[in-house]
Structure 1
Amino acid sequence: MRYTRTAWSEHYNSGRGFRRLGEEEKRLIAEHATAAPNGGRALDIGCGTGELSVYLTSLGYTVDGVDFAEGALERARAEHAEVEGVRWLSLDVENGDLADLAEDGYVLIVLRLSIAFIRDRTRVLRALAARLREGGALVIITPIVENTPEERRHIALDESELAALTDGFEHAERFDAKGLAVLLLRGPAGSFSVQEKGRPEPQAVFGAAVVVTDAFGRVLLGRSTWGMWELPGGRIETDETAPAAAVRELNEETGLTACVDDAHVITVLHDDRLDVRRVTAVVRVSRWAGELALPEPHHFVRWEFHDLNTLAILGKIFAPSAQALTAVWPGVLAGLPPVHSYPCSTTVPPVPGEPVEASGCASEWRAS
């Protein structure tokens, strides 16, 4: 479910709010978050009417309270006009420019009751974590599905979604605050690890890995039920071409649509997984339409667009997807095991929407 700035402002203008800040939440933040000597700066994402921002000032923080609903910020400014040490900012942290945030970073960043409303959660968390000062902490407070009535579960996360939030951080702790999950994250590891799923069916398997980018050049990856990130894709069926398979799998897994004429085989990768020859056609889809959906929840728990410069700190990535990403953007993931590659195009679209002219396969080369 997607929410607009107008809808959120109407929510607050009508006098509504969200669950009040609980004593257990306050205790956990005070005990486990980074201390704030001499007015360390904190960032409150989705601050609403400002209750948490004001509490953080009582702990010694100077606070940036951020929300994209002007109705929320109007109430925050009015209800806490006497409070010093808070700067109220109107900002969409998922799609907006973060230039207005503090240049010298934050010792504490908190997202309370807001993470479920962010689509590209992992990307946003990586962008925010990059603004933590050394030793700083990122705190996420969210309802969880098992404690939430069915009609309100769109505001909550399940266990697999919680696990995805912690992936890639050096230190992660989880606490309970009256049914809310409180995640304390520190120290992005700055690395990724390639994952395997198990033994494919012998003797050989031929599949397509689909590379799709958005208007900002971010690449689409899905968080699978295996607990790792993957490109859209799957097996190529009998009498089906790789571009046709790519278009079909893209639609089946994400809900996005594309034409076969806009699907271009960049290269064919070949490696061995146990006793199975694994062959992957890397297909670049240069044009697509539609809205991201989750038509196969038994295979994927969510889809997100990721910045290329954050792939190397993303955490677990399915091995063929990692190889495909490197085939399209050489060097984006370093240190992968060798794989045979058979380039099938002389050019790769440098920006979304620029088509590729396919040519005959070139000679084999081995990635290092």
Structure 2
Amino acid sequence: MGHTNPDQWDAHYAEGNTFSPLRDAERALLAAHAPAPADGGRALDVGCGLGELARHLAELGYEVDAVDYAPAALTRAEARHQATAAVTYHLFDIERDDLDTLPRPAYDLITFRLTWAFVHDRTRVLNRLRERLRPGGALCVITPLARAVPDGKRPIALDDEEIDALCAGWASAGRHDADGLAFVVLRGSAPAQATCAGKGRPSPHALTGAGVVVTDSAGRILLGWSVRGVWELPGGKNDPGEGFLEAGVRELEEETGLRADPAEARVPALLLDSIDTMPRLTAVVHVPAWTGRPTVTEPQLIRRWEWHEVTDLPALPQPLFTPSAHVIDTVWPGLLADLPPVHRYPIALEAGHQLGDNGLSTR
């Protein structure tokens, strides 16, 4: 199963299909590493499907809120098993719905069983759920491993790098084997300081390019997780004879599938630094309007695209690509600390445009 959206999962369950059953090894590890508090506990099971894990957590002593974005899964879960006060089912999309509408403000245990690989904006979701753990609480992710699944099922699994990213920013991260599945238990927040990193010496080039700032309707910024181990903005080098606006819009579509009009884009500043003794000129390109959905179109360069809360960027556990960090700091001055040196050249905006509070141009 490689479903990627709620409609596909809803059809999967509506057709009578099931989900991989809970294994004895998982039950043993839950009992050992995530027991319910002596006075009872509250659990959130994300992507509960037909509710088998939720009901098992209730047997361990938890009151469970079981959430899924597929209505057919919840209908079948409620119909097939006698209702119990210890488990309540809720239609909820952990990425798109407001977490303030969850039934409880905080939980002793949050579980993702075979579902974390389907979360797109993992950093943001993880940060928000970390805030909803009660003192001493745990977040548990049970997942297939990429090396153990066929190539066609790679989207359902995590590789070691993805598990390392999952474990970053926690005071305690335990990984166990659950009969071939990775069983990861995360406890305690360990805030990190955002850092910058390069990606190695570039190939010979004029080293001119664009860093593209794209935000969604909630003000989140789009960043890609590079195969070289840094977060970076969409963007890249100019083609011969190509301006910064055209380069930014072209690179945005080539890298993410998002489409924009160069005539609507703006360059509020140019940035000059150096890499391996070579000057590097980066244009800050703001794209205020776009269509499409972020998609990994160049997997040899970018593993995934995520929408990030701007306020999360100063505490990213992984580094930002240095030019991207400079672009972000131009749009949100003072957000990032201890950046490498850069020469910044603001550009006067055309008539009819002005800078908003976030440094982006508005009509």
What's the TM-score, normalizing by structure 1? 0.88
Counterpart of 2:12 in structure 1 is 11
Contact 1:44 1:110 in 2 (8 A): yes
Among the aligned pairs, what percent are the same residue?
46
Shift of 1:3: 4.4
> Which consecutive aligned stretches of 4+ in structure 1 deviate over 6 angstroms post-superposition?
none
Counterpart of 2:327 in structure 1 is 324
Shift of 1:81: 2.2
- Counterpart AA for 1:332: L
Counterpart of 2:336 in structure 1 is 333
SS in 2 for 1:74: helix
Larger deviation, residues 302-311 vs 28-37: 28-37
- Counterpart AA for 1:65: A
2:315 to 305, 308, 313: 313
Distance in structure 2 (CA, Å) of the matches to 1:274 and 1:5? 46
Shift of 1:164: 3.0
- Counterpart AA for 2:184: L
- Counterpart AA for 1:166: C
Query: Structure 1: which 5+ residue stretches go unaligned?
Result: 358-368
Counterpart of 1:285 in structure 2 is 287
Counterpart of 1:83 in structure 2 is 84
Shift of 1:296: 0.9
Distance in structure 2 (CA, Å) of the matches to 1:339 and 1:351? 20
Shift of 1:349: 5.1
Alignment RMSD, CA only? Answer: 2.5
Shift of 1:103: 4.2
1:252 aligns with 2:254: yes
Distance in structure 2 (CA, Å) of the matches to 1:130 and 1:203? 44
**Over residues 255-280 of structure 1, what are the superposed CA-to-partner deviations in whole Å (9 max), with x where a residue is unaligned?**
22222112211211222334222221
SS in 1 for 2:161: helix
SS in 1 for 2:292: coil
Shift of 1:188: 3.4
1:342 to 334, 340, 345: 345
1:116 aligns with 2:120: no
Distance in structure 1 (CA, Å) of the matches to 2:111 and 2:189? 16
SS in 2 for 1:291: coil
What's the TM-score, normalizing by structure 2? 0.89
Shift of 1:345: 4.2
2:243 to 241, 244, 247: 241
Counterpart of 1:365 in structure 2 is none
Contact 1:12 1:72 in 2 (8 A): yes
**Over residues 187-216 of structure 1, what are the superposed CA-to-partner deviations in whole Å (9 max), with x where a residue is unaligned?**
333332222223446797222111111122
Contact 1:207 1:235 in 2 (8 A): yes
SS in 2 for 1:323: helix
Distance in structure 2 (CA, Å) of the matches to 1:203 and 1:249? 17
Counterpart of 2:57 in structure 1 is 56
1:299 to 298, 301, 313: 301
Query: Structure 2: which 5+ residue stretches go unaligned?
Result: none
| Cα 1:74–1:94 shift into 2, 3 Å | same
Distance in structure 2 (CA, Å) of the matches to 1:2 and 1:254? 20
Distance in structure 1 (CA, Å) of the matches to 2:93 and 2:205? 50
Counterpart of 1:22 in structure 2 is 23
- Counterpart AA for 1:302: R
Distance in structure 2 (CA, Å) of the matches to 1:170 and 1:321? 28
Distance in structure 2 (CA, Å) of the matches to 1:325 and 1:266? 12
Shift of 1:182: 2.0
**Over residues 218-270 of structure 1, what are the superposed CA-to-partner deviations in whole Å (9 max), with x where a residue is unaligned?**
11100110122110111223322111111121122112222211221121122
**Over residues 260-317 of structure 1, what are the superposed CA-to-partner deviations in whole Å (9 max), with x where a residue is unaligned?**
1122112112223342222211111111122322221111001111111222232222
1:272 to 248, 253, 274: 274
Distance in structure 1 (CA, Å) of the matches to 2:339 and 2:296? 30
SS in 1 for 2:312: helix
SS in 2 for 1:280: strand
Contact 2:3 2:9 in 1 (8 A): no
Shift of 1:64: 1.0
Shift of 1:355: 5.6
Alignment length, in residue pairs?
Answer: 356
SS in 1 for 2:260: coil
Distance in structure 2 (CA, Å) of the matches to 1:313 and 1:35? 31
Distance in structure 1 (CA, Å) of the matches to 2:42 and 2:343? 50
Contact 2:26 2:178 in 1 (8 A): yes
Larger deviation, residues 103-112 vs 222-231: 103-112
| Cα 1:277–1:203 shift into 2, 3 Å | farther
Within a 5 Å distance, the mapping from 1:152-167 to structure 2 comes to 152-167=153-168
Distance in structure 1 (CA, Å) of the matches to 2:239 and 2:172? 43
Shift of 1:82: 4.8
